[in-house]
Chain A
Amino acid sequence: MSAQSASESPKPIELKDPVMAAFLAWLIPGLGHLYQGRIAKGILFLVGILGIFMYGVYLGGDREVGWGRVVYMSFRPEDQRLHFLCQVGVGLPAMPAVIQAVRVRSERAPLWGCLMAPPRLPSDRSSDRPTLDDLHKRLHHYFELGTLYTMIAGLLNILAIYDAWAGPVLEESVKEEKEEKDSSPAEVESSSGGSDVKASESGAEGDCASKPG
C-alpha cells in the first residue's frame, strides 16, 4: 500500500487566493471551499456548521420572544455576552445580532421580530422586551443548548477557515514522504506548485487506510 502510494504524486489543491478564501469561509461556512472548487468539503461545511448553527437558533427562541435569542451581542457592564465571540465565527448568519445591538444601543426597536436581539436590562424600564432572566424562564434548558450549539458552530468554522486558508493538515506519513521528496534537488526542480498550492493526501490514501485508528 505504502509503495503504491509513494509512486503516485500527491494531487495538488489549488487554494486560489487563500486570504479571499478564508474571508469567504468566515462569511458563510463552506463558501471559501466552494470558491476554491473544493465542492464536497464546501457542502459538508455548509450543511454541517450552518445546520447546527440554525438548530441552535431554533432551540434558543420561539415565536413569542423571537428566534435566536441565544445569539446576541452585548458588552454592557450588566450583561457581558462573551459567548458571542465564539458565535461570530460563523460569519454572516450571526450578523443580525450586530445590527440589533446597534439599534438597541441607539434606543430604537429591534427588527425582524426580535431575531438575535439583546435582552432588556433589568434596570431599563423603557420597553417590555424580555430580560435575560425572562428568556431563561421561558426557554428553560433550551437556552443553554442553543447557546452551546451556536458557539460550537462558530468555533468549528474557525477550523474550516484555517482549512480554506492553508489546506488540510497533512497526515504524518504524507508529511514525511513530502519532506523526502523536497530533500531531493531533482524533485524540487520538477515540482512546479506555487505557495498557494498544497499537496493533498488523496494520492496517498492507502497510507491513511493502513494506519490504525
Chain B
Amino acid sequence: MWPSVIFAQLGWSYFWYAAPLVAVISLVYAATRHEDLRSIFRHAFGCATWIVGLMVVVGVVMAVISAWL
C-alpha cells in the first residue's frame, strides 16, 4: 500500500518524462559503439532495459527506506 501512496504523491505522469530520455540516451550510447543499425537497436534495447531496471530497483529501495522513516 505504502509504495503506491508515495508514487501517487509524486504523480505517475512524471515518469513519462523519463521515457524520451531513456530512449535517446540508449540509442546515442549504442550508436557510439556500433555502426550497423541492427546492432545499434539491439544494444539500445538492452541498455534501455538496464536503465529502467536500475530505476525500478532504486525506486523500490527508496520506497522501502521511506516507509521506515
Contacts and interface: CB of A to CB of B under 8 A. Distances in A.
A binds B: yes
A91 interface: no
Contacts of A145: 17
Interface stretch (A39-47, A60-68, A80-88, A111-119): A39-47
A169 interface: yes
Contacts of A168: 31-35
B31 A41 contact: yes
Given A156-B25, A208-B42, A162 B32 contact: yes
Given A55-B20, A208-B39, A49 B34 contact: no
Nearest to B26: A48
Contacts of A160: 28, 31-32
B15 to A, nearest CB: 12
Interface string A148-189: 110010001001101100011101000000000000000000
**How many interface residues does chain B have, given as a range?**
20 to 34
Nearest to B47: A213
Given A44-B40, A145-B17, A213-B46, A201 B35 contact: yes
B24 A208 contact: no
B29 interface: yes
A48 B42 contact: no
A156 B34 contact: no
**How many interface residues does chain A have, given as a range?**
20 to 34
B36 A202 contact: yes
A200 interface: yes
A193 interface: no
B67 to A, nearest CB: 24
Interface of B: 14, 17, 20-21, 23-25, 27-29, 31-40, 42-43, 46
26 contacts: A40-B37, A44-B28, A48-B23, A48-B28, A49-B24, A52-B20, A55-B20, A152-B24, A159-B32, A160-B31, A163-B32, A168-B31, A168-B33, A169-B33, A171-B33, A171-B34, A200-B35, A201-B34, A202-B36, A202-B39, A205-B36, A205-B38, A208-B34, A208-B39, A208-B43, A209-B42
